[in-house]
């Protein structure tokens, strides 16, 4: 009876279109299933697509709170979101993905398909932990029971995390002792039991680091054991990522970042702060900017000089033009070098944090998502308009960077510094930076024509690659600068700031890990404040969605945005 209920949920959900209230839409899904035609492979394909859709749905919220993209919902945190803003995440998880996963596990187990079932358990564990990371307390034990439990109650995040870790242990046991065939279609890795074992173990490492404030010794022991075991994601070939195609229609298989910027819409505002983090935050003793080697892969500029326009194009809020001498006075309390409105002396056009100004005619001026991770354009200083009906750049053949080897290195660096694990924090920092840069630069293979294009430089034709692709010496110089900052740090707090800043940069395209890190560490220091002073307390967890509050008999009202997730034991004013 329970299996029938689960398959009924699958059938109903796949016929229901939930609205995602953030910028990223789920991919079109050609693999909808019903109880009558529920083949394991069809259901597995649907789970893979839905899991990626769930990951993407977290980006708009978590990415904007951590200043990776601009948060334009309001001038303050309380009004930036409403409960309905989170209906899409909740519905996609509970009524779609998790219901499909439970049905898949039951079906796969009955047929001895251990990799199907084990990998589904890994995705289930990730989903529940991410729901806790966003909402704090969520339905767990009573969830997914169909008509047997119509109003599942909330359970503490700690209980849900424990359940998710138990699910991971089940997956590890199942994947570690099987000779079952791989799934026919694998959208994340090679589909082997070994590949999914590495994902499961790395998720356990992630959970241990996330919860280090509530159980430092237990977290350290877990991380040491996982690292010693060696079966974690620590090479690029093992990265846990969803791989997109380049097909525009029937179905659209391209990355949402590409769909966002390269068709005929204006696209999301990039964060002025985050672009500056790569373009101008680091300086030598002589005041020369140390430019991040990844910047031309992360962002594409549509204009050469963002200062060269009139009052109609800007939305700076306090001034008609982006006058750096008129930046808000409270910026200096956090970092006097923070840019205001745009980045001066360059073409990076974005918005400040919590800027709710109206939308001017700036769609063809904004900096947009670049080649990594969304398969857009490499910034070759051509400054072309990008709304070309999806015909330029990498054609959307990007990735969802869920758990990369560079992330593992940064997590190990933080753990070594904060809870005394056996790793060398400095060595892990270097490994993380180098792995991230190498991963990003590998995307150049998507745009060979761009990189080989000849540019006339004072009468000499030079390939774009020679002009703008960082060399190994450039990469070494950047890494040496970062390590110099680490070595010059006078305390572990300052060293943690270096690690967190580089981790935030490496996380481009993954907002949930950045959101967790920010609440866990309070780093990087000097992150851009709200555009208006007095934006209120930072959002430590999201509103419960309206679909839960309004329809669930066990919930009488919503919770405050200041409610902290169980693993976040930092002071109330720890982040802003």
pLDDT of residue 147: 84
CATH numeric code, 256-443+469-521: 1.20.120.840
pLDDT in tens, 76-110: 999 999 999 999 999 999 999 999 999 999 999 99
Instruction: Decide whether 2-231+540-549 matches 256-443+469-521 in CATH topology.
Output: no
Please tell me the predicted confidence (pLDDT) of residue 37: 52
Tell me the β-bridge partners of 368. 300
pLDDT of 19 over the 50 cut? no
pLDDT greater at residue 24 or residue 61: 61
How far apart are the C-alpha atoms of 395 and 254, rounded to whole Å?
A: 7
- 208-222: average pLDDT: 98
Cβ neighbourhood burial of 311 (10 Å; 0-12, 13-18, 19+):
exposed
Q: Tell me: the pLDDT tens digits for 397-430?
A: 999 999 999 999 999 999 999 999 999 999 999 9
Q: CA 261, CA 474: separation in Å to the nearest integer?
A: 29
Confidence of residue 271 (pLDDT cuts 50, 70, 90): very high
pLDDT, tens only, 182-212:
999 999 999 999 999 999 999 999 999 999 9
pLDDT computed for residue 21 by the predictor:
40
pTM for the whole thing? Answer: 0.94
549-570 pLDDT, tens digit per residue, is 999 999 989 999 999 999 999 9
Please, is 36 exposed, middle or buried when counting C-beta atoms within 10 Å of its C-beta (0-12, 13-18, 19+)? Answer: exposed
Which residues pair with residue 139 across a beta bridge? 154
Average pLDDT, the chain: 94
Helix (H) or strand (E) holding 492: helix 492-506
pLDDT more than 70, % of the chain: 93
pLDDT of residue 434: 98
Residue 5 pLDDT more than 90?
Answer: no
Is residue 53 within 8 Å of residue 506, measured between CB atoms? no
Position 38 confidence tier, pLDDT thresholds 50, 70, 90: low
DSSP structural state of residue 75? S
Q: Render pLDDT for 497-537 as a digit per residue (tens, 0 to 9).
A: 999 999 999 999 999 999 999 999 999 999 999 999 999 99
- Fold of the domain built from segment(s) 2-231+540-549: 1.25.40
Which pLDDT band, with edges at 50, 70 and 90, does 146 fall under?
A: confident
Structure token digits, residue 285? 């003793």
pLDDT per residue as tens digits for the range 472-505: 999 999 999 999 999 999 999 999 999 999 999 9
Name which of 320, 313, 278 is nearest 296 in CA terms: 278
Q: What is the mean pLDDT of residues 27-40?
A: 57
Please report which confidence band the pLDDT of residue 23 belongs to, taking 50, 70 and 90 as the band edges.
very low
Question: Which residue shows structure tokens 């309380």?
Answer: 78
More confident site: 35 or 424: 424
- For residue range 51-79, what is the model confidence (pLDDT) as tens digits? 999 999 999 999 999 999 999 999 999 99
Q: Convert the pLDDT of each residue in 242-252 to its tens digit.
A: 999 999 999 99
pLDDT above 60 for 2? no
* pLDDT at residue 439 in the model: 98
Report domain extents, the chain.
Answer: 2-231+540-549, 256-443+469-521
């Amino acid at each position: 009876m329970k299996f029938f209920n689960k398959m009924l949920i699958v059938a109903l959900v796949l016929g229901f279109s939930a609205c995602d209230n953030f910028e990223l839409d789920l991919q079109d899904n050609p693999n909808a299933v019903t109880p009558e035609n529920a083949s394991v492979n069809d259901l597995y394909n649907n789970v893979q697509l839905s899991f990626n859709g769930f990951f993407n749905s977290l980006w708009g919220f978590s990415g904007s709170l951590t200043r990776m993209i601009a948060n334009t919902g309001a001038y303050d945190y309380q009004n930036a979101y409403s409960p309905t803003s989170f209906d899409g995440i909740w519905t996609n998880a509970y009524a779609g993905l998790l219901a499909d996963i439970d049905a898949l596990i039951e079906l796969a187990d009955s047929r001895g398909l251990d990799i199907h079932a084990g990998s589904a358990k890994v995705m289930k564990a990730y989903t529940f932990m991410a729901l806790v990371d966003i909402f704090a307390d969520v339905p767990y034990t009573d969830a997914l029971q169909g008509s047997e439990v119509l109003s599942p109650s909330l359970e503490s995040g700690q209980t849900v995390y424990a359940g998710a870790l138990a699910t991971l242990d089940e997956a590890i046991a199942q994947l570690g002792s099987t000779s079952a065939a791989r799934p026919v279609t694998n959208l994340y890795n090679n589909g082997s039991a070994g590949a999914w074992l590495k994902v499961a173990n790395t998720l356990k490492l992630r959970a241990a680091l996330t919860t280090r404030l509530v159980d430092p010794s237990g977290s350290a022991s877990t991380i040491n054991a996982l690292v010693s075991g060696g079966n974690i994601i620590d090479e690029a070939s093992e990265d846990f990522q969803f791989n997109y195609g380049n097909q525009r229609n029937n179905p659209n298989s391209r990355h949402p970042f590409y769909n966002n910027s390269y068709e005929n819409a204006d696209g999301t505002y990039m964060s002025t702060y985050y672009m500056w983090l790569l373009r101008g935050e680091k300086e030598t003793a002589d005041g020369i900017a140390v430019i991040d080697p990844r910047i031309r892969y992360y962002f594409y500029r549509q204009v050469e000089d963002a200062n060269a326009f009139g009052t109609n194009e800007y939305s700076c809020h306090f001034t008609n033009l982006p006058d750096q001498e008129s930046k808000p006075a409270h910026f200096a309390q956090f970092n006097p070098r923070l840019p205001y409105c745009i980045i001066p002396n360059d073409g990076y056009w974005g918005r400040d944090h919590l800027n709710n100004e109206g939308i001017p005619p700036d769609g063809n001026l904004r900096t947009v998502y670049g080649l990594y991770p969304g398969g857009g354009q490499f910034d070759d200083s051509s400054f072309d308009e990008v709304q070309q009906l999806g015909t330029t750049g990498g054609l959307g053949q990007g990735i969802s960077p869920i758990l990369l080897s560079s992330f593992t290195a940064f997590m190990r660096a933080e753990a070594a510094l904060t809870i005394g694990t056996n790793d060398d924090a400095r060595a892990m920092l270097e490994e993380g930076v180098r792995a991230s840069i190498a991963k990003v630069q590998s995307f150049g293979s998507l745009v060979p024509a761009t990189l080989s294009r000849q540019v006339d430089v004072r009468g000499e034709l030079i390939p774009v690659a020679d002009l703008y692709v960082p060399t190994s010496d450039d990469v070494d110089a950047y890494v040496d600068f970062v390590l110099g900052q680490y070595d010059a740090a006078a305390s572990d707090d300052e060293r943690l700031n270096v690690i967190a800043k580089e981790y935030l940069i490496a996380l481009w395209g993954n907002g949930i890990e950045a959101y967790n890190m920010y609440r866990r560490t309070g780093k990087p220091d000097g992150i851009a404040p709200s555009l208006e002073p007095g934006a209120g307390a930072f959002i430590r967890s999201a509103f419960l969605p309206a679909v839960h509050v309004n329809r669930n008999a066990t919930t009488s009202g919503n919770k405050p945005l200041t409610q902290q997730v169980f693993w976040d034991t930092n002071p109330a004013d720890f982040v802003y």
